[in-house]
Amino acid sequence: MGDYSKTLEFYEKAHQIYEKALPPNHPDLGFSYNNIGQVYNNIGDYSKALVFYDKALKIREKALLPNHPTLATSYNNIGQVYNKMGDYSKALEYYEKALKISKKALPPNHPDLATSYNNIGLVYNNMGDYPKALEFHDKAHKIYEKALSPNHPDLAISYSDIGLVYNNMGDYSKALELYDKAHKIYETALPANHSHLATSYNNIGTMYKNMCDYAKALECYEKALKIREKAAFPNHVDLAICYGTIGQVYNDIGNYSKAFDFHNQAHKIFEKALPPNHPHLATCYNNIGQVYYSMGDYSKALDFYERAYKIREQALPSDHPDLAICYGSIGQVYNDIGDYVKAVEFHDKARKIYEKTLLPNHRHLATCYNDIGTVYNSMGDYSKALEFYDKARKIYETAVPANYSHLATSYNNIVLFYISSIKIILPMSVFLVQPASGTNVKVGVDDFNITYATIETDSVSNCHFILIDGEYEERQFA
């Protein structure tokens, strides 16, 4: 598997024979160009893939009827490369050409028609238009279920693609359910080192990471990496993606040296394999910036965040969620260095995108609300701070596991806010917060003879803070 150099060698030998033996517009010469383009696409050399796919398309446009299915294949191939390069408008243009032909030339339940629907769904997902993505993926999936066997790899791909949309929308339980269905098919239908199986491990790992189960996430990511290292070229983009995901986990658990190691490996590959404004490179810059931010090196963090922002601003639609991630990251740095006006400006840009493109209970939206609340709290605008902290808390309580670290942060933000600003927010109604396990909070407050407030508990369910019209008490529950 994955011996692309040998494949390319034989395809090029065949091509030399075709060039000598056939007229320049012969369909077999088009197939030869297409085969070579496919190899370059598989090894992540997208510029060369485009060159050969385009040569194949020109021959096919001259030699075949306008509605020939092979012409649709060419359009799909070119659309796929543009999608990988982050040129989503071009990708959509070619995918829609392919769909138009497929609708005319094929029966309604043909798998190639499903492929066209699925491809368009992938682009809409990348553009952040999740309802449209689900619409097209669902059309594809219905065809696959009718036309293919239950263990066909294309059906697994369909499950994975739908799972990715639900992941991006923040519905992690639904996403994990779909990823598991895909994985079971891959395990029965494919060799142990197949690239689709690596993608499946990576997808499941991302779900566990989103749910803060870092041990399981790392286990899945490392399984994916082992497959990629055996099957892919050293500079293949998929290998870089594996390095990046592992780097994110190490950053989240505080192992910054390992995080840098993996992110730097990813960066070297992305710089060699992709154009300078590719979204994958932006993601890599953002990841490196996140490690510097976690270490408290704000100048370097801002440098990498701004590199990511410049790429995404050029490559993505103005309301793409990945652009919001950049805005949020930059906003965090400005808050930490005390430039609150800029912090609010960038966080508000992120908020508008998230509210437009994500589900109302998406954790990214909760994180954004929490970040905005933190800035307003730093500025002394306590009513605004509480408004956003409470929005974040409500999302975290419904959308994430009870032991999710951001949920604990949300509770503690509100506890600290109430205790430190009692004289400003009186009178208060009953307010209940539930702290995280092992949390210890000490805050000096003199207004109501409260010298400090402490949360010390072994269980997230047995200790509550209650503030009633300025009176503080602690209650224990069995």
Instruction: Tell me how far apart the alpha carbons of residues 248 and 10 are, in angstroms, rounded to a whole number.
Output: 39
Question: Once rounded to an integer, what is the mean pLDDT over residues 6-11?
Answer: 88
- Cβ contacts of 253 within 8 Å, gap of 6 or more: 214
Alpha helices in 148-213 (DSSP H): 153-169, 172-189, 195-210
The string of pLDDT tens digits covering residues 80-92 is 999 888 788 899 9
Instruction: Tell me how far apart the alpha carbons of residues 407 and 477 are, in angstroms, rounded to a whole number.
Output: 20
424: pLDDT confidence band, cut at 50, 70 and 90? very low
429 in a domain, yes or no? yes
Percent of the chain with pLDDT over 90: 58
Radius of gyration, CA atoms only, the chain = 26
For residue 444, is pLDDT > 50? no
426: pLDDT confidence band, cut at 50, 70 and 90? very low
| Report field, pTM of the whole predicted structure over 0.75 | no
464 in a domain, yes or no? yes
> What's the confidence (pLDDT) of residue 449?
33
Question: Cβ(437)–Cβ(463) under 8 Å?
Answer: no
Question: Once rounded to an integer, what is the mean pLDDT over residues 156-169?
Answer: 94
- Cβ contacts of 442 within 8 Å, gap of 6 or more: 452, 453, 454
Return the amino acid letter for 315.
Answer: A
Task: Tell me 436's DSSP state.
Answer: P
Domain of 449 in residue numbering reads as 425-478
465 in a domain, yes or no? yes
Tallying the residues shown for the chain, one arrives at 478
Kindly report the number of other CB atoms within 10 A of residue 89's CB atom.
10
Work out how many domains the chain is built from and give that number. Answer: 1
For residue 244, is pLDDT > 90? yes
132 in a domain, yes or no? no
For residue 375, is pLDDT > 70? yes
Question: Cβ(332)–Cβ(368) under 8 Å?
Answer: no
Question: Cβ(425)–Cβ(383) under 8 Å?
Answer: yes
More confident: 392 or 100: 100
Structure tokens at 379: 């500025």
Q: Which stretches does DSSP call E strand in 51-180?
A: none
The dihedral through the CA atoms of 383, 386, 392, 395 has a sign that is negative
> What's the confidence (pLDDT) of residue 86?
77
Residue with the two structure tokens 């088009």: 30
Question: Once rounded to an integer, what is the mean pLDDT over residues 297-324?
Answer: 91
Which of these ranges, 310-319, 399-408, 449-458, has the smallest mean pLDDT?
Answer: 449-458
What are the φ/ψ torsions at residue 163 (nearest 5 degrees)? -60, -40
Question: Once rounded to an integer, what is the mean pLDDT over residues 234-246?
Answer: 90
Strand order in the sheet with 471-476: 431-433, 463-468, 471-476
33 in a domain, yes or no? no
For residue 318, is pLDDT > 90? no
Structure tokens at 211: 């749910």
> What's the confidence (pLDDT) of residue 360?
83
478 in a domain, yes or no? yes
Q: To 10 degrees, what angle do helices 69-84 and 88-105 make?
A: 160
Question: Cβ(28)–Cβ(18) under 8 Å?
Answer: yes
457 in a domain, yes or no? yes
284 in a domain, yes or no? no
438: pLDDT confidence band, cut at 50, 70 and 90? very low
Task: Tell me 445's DSSP state.
Answer: B
> What's the confidence (pLDDT) of residue 396?
78
Question: Once rounded to an integer, what is the mean pLDDT over residues 309-315?
Answer: 89
For residue 420, is pLDDT > 60? no
> What's the confidence (pLDDT) of residue 413?
63
